[in-house]
Chain A
Amino acid sequence: MVQERRILYEHLDVPDINTFEVFRQHDGYTRFEKAIAEYQPEELAQMVWDAGLKGRGGAGFSTGEKWSFVPRDIEPRYLCCNADESEPGTFSNRYVLEKNPHLLIEGILICCYAMGIETTYIYIRGEFTLGKKMLDAAIKEAYEQGYLGENVRGTGLNINIYSHPGAGAYICGEETGLIESLEGKRGQPRNKPPFPAVQGVFMKPTVVQNVETLCNLPFIVGNGVEWYTQMGPTYGDARFDPPKPDPNTGTKLYCISGDVNEPGVYELELGLTCTELIEVAGGLRGEEVKAVIPGGSSAPILTHYELDTRLDFTSLTLAKSMLGSGGIIVMNETRNIVDCLLNIMKFYAHESCGQCTPCRWGTPWVRDIVQRIADGEGRQTTVTRPKFGITESGRWGDTGETEEIYEDLDLLENVANNIANVDTMTWNTICVFGIAVSWPAVSYMRKFRPEFEAAIRESKLVTLSVAEATVPPEENYAYQQRIIPKEMADLE
């Protein structure tokens, strides 16, 4: 039985940990003091790189590498903390904000010191009223205790934090959408390049980090790189010779919801399989697993054939899915995948910012097609395909074979792929919202095609058994190319 490995959440349940005094008693701010006393800023940035910390917000981009893009000669630079946690199925940052906001502040302090940043904006989701209240109280306390403001604890650093509530848009969780919104404009993502690391908030170099990423920093500084890299697997990228290390180190706050007995946030080392994770969450509620969404609603779905996929950044990428924000939704045999897709597509059609053409008009279209199928109005055509061969009369010609075509399924796949092509991983949109729409649409449809076909054929939603509903991997190219065996992990 896998055990939780609580690091970020270690003191989450300590009463009054949100107050400075209690936080201080549990090593609070000692890591920041250690960072200032023992390391130069550049050393800290290198440490984060060496630790292999990957951004926890969704993209899984190496934090150290991101910091290396920030030009250190342009002033001012900004840190933008992304607390606009709005991916359906994700609720880990919320606990940090509501229960242990000082941990985030400490992470911000370390990042600010490492990157020479004086101003931090925390863009917090507007719906997190309690989170914002707790965070603001913590920031106030930190100011009072001299950890924020002018000349922090006599070190000569000036660090200010401003918390800014969002106005309720999913797209403001995208880093450039967040920056636009923070600047007071419509929350619409920017074209990249330039990336925020070069031109971010107010067109100045900006580090944008998720709450969870920043909360990892105190532990990397406090316990050292070696301690950190022991957690989670490090793979080797075989395209390079020798294989380039691809670290998936540290812990992840997995938000497990859906058909499990004990849903909630579990802090686990990266690299566990789906099956293990379901066990941690008290086991499955129901007979058998039908599907698992591994990383928030925009991640491609996993079938019961793929439950041995390891839930880390690299393995899930190779399985043509993603860890994303770690919002894991488990579905048992009673769930109808068409219905699930409709639910998700309604969300995306509502949340498209409308800036670029494919997403603005493609997303509601995809929703409408799924709605049509779910309403039992999906189109199915029996066509005669001119298949040439020896006909009954013994002559060469059209054999007149017929085939049933599910027009709406083809249309659904085609429209979704035109927003963002999931096979080539290319998108015609400005931001990755496009792929967040077409990924679920296409993967649900390909992997659970019998259920979609049944809905069209029988003109109503039909929930098939798990075995009937799922397309086996050998018949479908939507599945992973390969799963990294556990032995291959730990390159050292």
Chain B
Amino acid sequence: MALVKLNDLEIEVEDGTNIVEAAREHDIEVPHYCYHPGLSRPANCRMCLVEPYGPIPGAPPGTIGPARQLATGCTLTVRSAPPERKLEEKFDAIIRTDSDRVIKAREDILEFLLVHHPLDCPVCDQAGECDLQDFSYRHGHDKSRYLEVKNVPPKKDLGPDVLLYSTRCIVCTRCIRFCDEVSGSGELGLINRGSHDEIDIPRSHEGTPIQLLDNKLAGNVVDICPVGALISKDFLFKSRPWFLEKANSICTGCSVGCNVTVEYKTDGLYRIKPRFHEDINQHWMCDDGRLGYHYVNSDDRLQLPQKRVDSELVTTQWADALTLISENLSEVEADDIVVIGSAQGTNEDNYVLQQFAHDVLKTTQLGLFGQEPGEAHKFPQFTIEADKNPNTAGARTILGSANGNVVLEDDALWEKVAGAKVVYLVSGCPERPLQDTEKDALEKVEFLIVQDILPSEVTQLADVVLPGTTFAEKDGTFTNSSGWVQRIRKTIDPPGEAQADWEITQQLAKRLGGEIDYHFAGEIAIAISENVEGYGDATHQNIGDAGIKLT
């Protein structure tokens, strides 16, 4: 640890920490553009200049004063110094971020940054979350002294989801470094020189793109762009960021379990942005997860229960659907019932489902359903997994947690389903085409109960369809492939009369005389922590935003 005097604070920081981070920990703002904690540090924006103190050359020993040159806070790291090099006998470094020189330097740099930057904040998507706007407001001049004509480089379409408004670009090169270092695909580069610097993709002499910015992580360049130069086509002109509510959640795109922030209004989700987690996703997420939320807002979402009348599915009331199900369930033997949980569902959903099966239906035949495996992708600093469900590990453990429970998957499951009379299948998959074996097996079932979010091939075979909820409409926890238990939060209300999956299961259980009575997801999590091995600490309170790792 190093002892640093930062302005008038005495702070202890880890060896090798840079000044921007050290200051951030103590709520001191060191404005910066090119520096990003997940990328290399070229120190080219010169915005994070700070004033280091040290011995003055030629002065008597022990005299310290400000260094002749300001230093960039992003590259200036502090380390524990040997005793003879301590300043004022105890400090390893003395830094000021609020001296007149620093304040003037920031003003000057901001003036240069704004020389060619257009005043199009009213139509810029970044407005409201723009570093240039914020820092200009806090550290900049109030008027421009630039009289000449501004550079107007062209607007460019870089790839499937990314637009570049070159006029707004401040050439911090974060996006270039991201493509070089994190995705390793290196699509972006600088063209021209000096004040004509432009970010671009490789192009032929005629200007036709040779390589588009279409890697699976491309969306991250929009997040890390400190200004409104790189813009997501998906979010373009959809909403002002200050109108959006934010909730911390987990991406459901695959079993990595990237930490995300879901941004929403009452009418649906607007975008998903990655949230830092050191051990799971760092600062990033993939585009499959980022852009895969649209099904939540879909107009096709199941809003009311449905039942089959004369081979047609017609909407009905909850009471009617539940009565129909309980009648069918009470008529058959426990061995003829298969209850299938979902790897898309939360631990809480699956726990209640397992309790329902074990305690009420007295069946130990459980299955696990989920998305088909997709492609895995490996990047230098990021991984996308083949398992496209967020909670396979959690669902598997929790469904099998009660005494004697057997969790069947894949062929074993479909073999069992083919011989069953009643199947209660919880799906929750956004899009799930059925394989022939799966379809055949489900067609043989006498009474198929499907709990799902969208009309799908599965619901087409069902006798009763119950409208469930997506990750955005319920609380709960997911367990990712590396054993991290993390929280998702309710953001918007479910469409129509759809309900959280555990609530539906609980109501069914009550109909059949079961004694399952939870009031909110956190209560189920406490039950899980008491009854499931390894989940001892996994209450919502303990999990928080950081998640906990199973031991």
Please name the residue on chain A nearest to B172 by beta carbon: A357
Residue tally, chain B, CB below 8 Å to A: 34
Task: Tell me what chain B mostly uses at the interface: helix, strand, loop, or mixed.
Answer: loop
Binds B, one of A113-121, A278-286, A426-434: A426-434
Is B115 in contact with chain A by the CB < 8 A criterion? yes
- Name B36-73 residues within 8 Å CB distance of A: 42-47, 49, 58, 68-70, 72
Docked Cα-Cα span, A352 to B193, in Å, equals 7
Q: Which of A350, A354, A362, A418 has the most CB of B within 10 A?
A: A354
A252 to chain B, nearest CB (A): 27
* B112 engages A353 (CB within 8 Å): no
A450 at the interface (CB under 8 A from B): no
CB pair A360–B171 under 8 Å, yes or no, is yes
Smallest CB-CB separation from A356: which chain B residue? Answer: B44
Q: Are A418 and B108 within 8 A (Cβ)?
A: yes
Q: Which of A191, A350, A358, A426 contacts B194 (CB 8 A)?
A: A350
Answer whether residue A355 sits at the interface, using C-beta atoms and an 8 A cutoff: yes
A372 to chain B: which residues have CB within 8 Å?
147-148
Cβ A352 vs Cβ B194 within 8 A: yes
Q: Which residues of A contact B47 (CB under 8 A)?
A: 357
The residues in A between 381 and 427 inclusive whose CB is less than 8 angstroms from any CB of B are: 411, 415, 418, 424-427
With beta carbons under 8 angstroms apart, the residue of A355, A364, A368, A425 that contacts B42 is A355
Cross-chain contact B108 with A358 (CB below 8 angstroms):
yes
Cβ contact of B115, chosen from A352, A361, A426, A430, cutoff 8 A: A361
A365 in complex: contacting residue of B42, B146, B190, B193, CB < 8 Å: B146
Instruction: For A352, list chain B residues within 8 Å (CB).
Output: 193-195
Give residues 1-54 of B contacting A (CB, 8 Å): 42-47, 49
Are B146 and A357 in contact (CB-based, < 8 A)?
A: no
In the complex, B105 has a CB within 8 A of chain A: yes
Please state if B190 and A356 are interface contacts (CB–CB under 8 Å).
no
Does B148 contact A365, Cβ atoms closer than 8 Å? yes
Q: A482 an interface residue at 8 Å Cβ cutoff?
A: no
Identify the closest chain B residue to A415 (Cβ).
B145
Contacts of B195 on A, CB cut-off 8 Å? 349, 352, 354, 360-361, 363-364
Task: State whether the Cβ of A306 lies closer than 8 Å to any Cβ in chain B.
Answer: no
Q: A351-B194, A354-B196, A362-B112 are in contact. Are A428 and B46 (CB under 8 A)?
A: yes
Q: Give the chain B neighbours of A133 by CB distance below 8 A.
A: none
Q: Any chain A CB within 8 A of the CB of B125?
A: no
Per-residue 0/1 for B143-185: is the Cβ within 8 Å of any A Cβ (1 yes, 0 no)?
0011110000000000000000000001100000000000000
The residue of chain B having its C-beta at the shortest distance from the C-beta of A426 within the complex is: B69
Contact B112 A358 (CB under 8 A): yes
Report the count of interface residues on A (CB-CB < 8 A).
Answer: 33
| Contact flag A428-B196 (CB < 8 Å), given A355-B44, A357-B113 | no
Please determine whether B45 and A428 come into contact, CB atoms closer than 8 angstroms: no
Q: Does B223 contact A (CB under 8 A)?
A: no
State in angstroms the CA–CA spacing of A362 and B115 once bound together: 8
**Chain A residues within an 8 Å CB radius of B105:** 428
Cα A360 to Cα B194 in complex, Å, equals 5
How far apart sit A411 and B47, CA to CA, in the bound complex (Å)?
21
Contact status A356-B194, CB under 8 Å: no
In the complex the two chains form, is B170's CB within 8 Å of A354's CB? Answer: no
What is the distance, in angstroms, from A7's C-beta to the closest C-beta of chain B? 34
A357 touches B170 (CB 8 A): yes
Q: B529 in the interface, Cβ–Cβ < 8 Å?
A: no
Does B116 sit within 8 A of A, measured CB to CB?
A: yes
Closest CB-CB distance, B170 to chain A, in whole Å? 7
Nearest CB of B to A170, in Å: 10
Report Cα–Cα, A350/B145, bound state, in Å.
Answer: 22
For residue A473, give the distance in angstroms from its CB to the closest CB of chain B: 26
Q: Is the CB of B58 within 8 A of A428?
A: no
- In the assembled complex, the CB of B195 is this many whole angstroms from the nearest CB of chain A, namely 5
- The verdict on B263 contacting chain A, using a C-beta distance below 8 Å, is no
Do residues A428 and B109 form an inter-chain contact, with CB atoms below 8 A?
yes
Q: Is residue A186 contacting chain B, with contact meaning CB distance below 8 A?
A: yes
What chain B residues lie within 8 Å of A355 (beta carbons)?
A: 42, 44
Q: Which of chain B's residues 174-209 have a Cβ closer than 8 Å to chain A?
A: 190, 192-197
CA distance A354 to B192 in the complex (A): 9
Query: Does B111 belong to the interface (CB within 8 Å)?
Result: yes
Known: A186-B190, A352-B195. A365 touches B115 (CB 8 A): yes
State whether A191 touches B42 (Cβ < 8 A). yes
Determine whether the beta carbon of A354 is less than 8 Å from that of B197.
Answer: yes
- Taken together as a complex, chains A and B put the C-alpha atoms of A257 and B354 apart, in Å, by 92
Q: Confirm or deny: B383 has a beta carbon within 8 angstroms of a beta carbon on chain A.
A: no
Q: What residue of chain A has the Cβ atom nearest to residue B190's Cβ?
A: A186
A361 and B113 contacting across the interface, CB-CB below 8 Å:
yes
Chain B residues closer than 8 Å to A425, beta-carbon distance:
68
Closest B residue to A425 by beta carbon equals: B68
Name the residue of chain A whose CB is nearest to the CB of B45.
A357
A417 vs chain B, min Cβ distance (A):
9
CB-CB under 8 A from B481, the residues of chain A are none
* Contact A411:B145 (CB < 8 A) given known A354-B171, A360-B197, A365-B115: yes
Partner of B45, one of A186, A356, A424: A356
* B215 interfacial by beta-carbon distance below 8 Å: no
Contact B69 A361 (CB under 8 A): no
How far does the alpha carbon of A429 sit from the alpha carbon of B112 in the complex, in Å?
Answer: 12
Q: Is the CB of A418 within 8 A of B112?
A: yes
Q: List chain B residues, Cβ under 8 A from A415.
A: 145
Does the CB pair A191–B43 fall under 8 Å?
yes
Cα(A411)–Cα(B68), bound, Å: 24
CB-defined contacts of B145 to chain A, threshold 8 Å = 411, 415
Expressed in whole angstroms, the Cα–Cα distance for A372 and B146 within the complex equals 12
Q: Given A191-B42, A239-B58, A428-B49, A354–B194 Cβ distance below 8 Å?
A: yes
Q: Give the chain B neighbours of A349 by CB distance below 8 A.
A: 194-195
CB neighbours (8 Å) of A357 from chain B are: 44-47, 109, 112-113, 170-171
Cβ proximity bits B316-356 to A, threshold 8 Å, 1 near / 0 not: 00000000000000000000000000000000000000000
Residue of B nearest to A355 (CB): B44
Asked whether B112 lies within 8 Å of A361 as measured between CB atoms, the reply is yes
Residue contact A356 to B148, C-beta cutoff 8 Å: no
**Would you give the 0/1 interface string for A8-48, flagging 1 where the beta carbon is closer than 8 Å to chain B?**
00000000000000000000000000000000000000000
Name the distance in Å between B499's Cβ and chain A's nearest Cβ.
54
Compute how far the CA of A240 lies from the CA of B59 in the bound complex, rounded to whole angstroms.
10
- A350 / chain B contacts, CB cutoff of 8 Å: 194
Among B170, B192, B194, the one with the most A-chain Cβ atoms within 10 Å of its Cβ is B194
Given pairs A354-B171, A354-B195, A428-B70, 10 additional interface contacts (CB within 8 A)? A191-B72, A354-B197, A356-B43, A361-B112, A361-B195, A364-B194, A372-B148, A425-B68, A426-B70, A428-B108
9 A-B pairs within 8 Å (CB atoms) are namely A191-B72, A355-B42, A358-B109, A365-B148, A426-B69, A426-B70, A427-B69, A428-B105, A430-B43
Which positions in B face A, CB cutoff 8 Å? 42-47, 49, 58, 68-70, 72, 75, 105, 108-109, 111-113, 115-116, 145-148, 170-171, 190, 192-197
Question: 7 closest pairs, A vs B, by CB?
Answer: A418-B108, A352-B194, A354-B197, A354-B194, A361-B112, A368-B148, A361-B115
